[in-house]
Structure 1
Amino acid sequence: YASHLFFNPKGAFDIYRKIHTAPFEKQYFKAGNKIMVFQSHGLTFGIQLCYDAHFPELALSMALKKADIIFIPHASPRGSSREKYESWIRHLTARAFDNGLYIAACNQTGDNLKGLLFPGISIFIGPDGKVIYKSVEKKEGIHIINIKKGLLNRVRSHKMRYFLPNRRSDLFKI
């Protein structure tokens, strides 16, 4: 499995296993089969790995499990930082806006010394679909963003900006 570990403040951990393996990964990894959300510091969050982010149903399923934020680490060597940003801005803003949650995504950066060069990029998107922070620099870094529950509450209490309560779940098997 391609997996991501989550350690809580007490030292216990959970494992998210990538659900959607990219076509070239199928020979190396099994697909996970459990949609999980985690709790920490007053937030509920989901984790998606790389290719997972291209499937809107996964974000919707996490939102229906009350996720406030989805973290999406990537290890994608294709394209430049700018090209990757242009790709992410198309679908990740929609994931945030449609589901009324934050999205935090980043890509590995630098040369892996095995012939692959990874373009560094990170992006943080609000539940209103607006980009709060982005970095398309080809360098390592740590970005600290304050998650504002007030913005989540404003979006989720607005009848025309929070769509999940109006979903026709009787027509969709998600």
Structure 2
Amino acid sequence: MCQGGESHLESAIFAPGQEVITAKTALANIGLSICYDLRFPELFRQLVGAGAQLLTVPAAFTYVSGEAHWHTLLRARAIENQCYVLAANQCGQHHHKFKTYGHSLIIDPWGKVLVEADEQQEGVFSAEIDLDQQEQLRRFFPVLEYRLL
């Protein structure tokens, strides 16, 4: 049970993946993840090691955990990996059991939130993705090259 009285044992119905998956598209190399993966920074580092330039996080973060951790974890993944992060989170009340947080985000490699929906806002959102700017950041602030582990 987490703070706020909600408890979800996702491991009872979901199994972890066995591979790190990226998808090469015309826009960018996209690193694929899901909601709970956000709590494991090593996965995102492996996605970047596999060439990801944009990290995706489709999610159903509950209201309680989302309010506490959603923005912080997403911005951390963007900053530490110098990647764009596209995080689509469900919003609203579900099955009379839990409420999801919403606040879908697009974050740039410096950790700046480019687009944010509110907690009940559904829709399609977009932001400019500048991979040249990302590459420039990686050249002038080469933290990915200096990691030891």
Q: Same fold (TM over 0.5)?
A: yes
Q: CA–CA distance in 1 between the matches of 2:118 and 2:67? A: 7
Is 1:90 aligned with 2:72? yes
Q: CA–CA distance in 2 between the matches of 1:23 and 1:165? A: 38
Question: Hey, which of these two has a bigger chunk of helix by percent?
Answer: 2
* TM-score calculated relative to the size of structure 1: 0.74
Any conservation in 2 of the 1:53–1:72 contact (CA below 8 Å)?
yes
Which amino acid letter does the alignment assign opposite residue 142 of structure 2? Y
Any conservation in 2 of the 1:100–1:162 contact (CA below 8 Å)?
no
Offset at 1:48?
1.1
CA RMSD, 1 decimal = 2.1
Question: Hey, which of these two has a bigger chunk of strand by percent?
Answer: 1
Q: CA–CA distance in 2 between the matches of 1:117 and 1:23? A: 12
Q: CA–CA distance in 1 between the matches of 2:14 and 2:117? A: 30
Any conservation in 2 of the 1:71–1:104 contact (CA below 8 Å)?
yes
Q: Against the structure 1 CA distance between its residues 78 and 46, is the aligned structure 2 distance closer, same or farther, given a 3 Å change threshold?
A: same
Which amino acid letter does the alignment assign opposite residue 148 of structure 1? D
Structure 1 residues without counterparts, runs of 5 or longer: 1-21
The Cα offsets for residues 10-66 of structure 1, whole Å up to 9 and x where unpaired, read as xxxxxxxxxxxx971122122111011111114101111111011110110011111
Q: Which has the higher contact order (CA 8 A, sep 6+)?
A: 2
SS at match of 2:136: helix
Offset at 1:154?
1.5
Of stretches 27-36 and 107-116 in structure 1, the one that deviates more from structure 2 is 107-116
Q: CA–CA distance in 2 between the matches of 1:129 and 1:162? A: 16
Aligned residues: 143
> How many percent identity over aligned positions?
27
Q: CA–CA distance in 1 between the matches of 2:60 and 2:51? A: 27
Offset at 1:86?
5.2
Is 1:142 aligned with 2:134? no
* TM-score calculated relative to the size of structure 2: 0.85
Offset at 1:136?
2.1
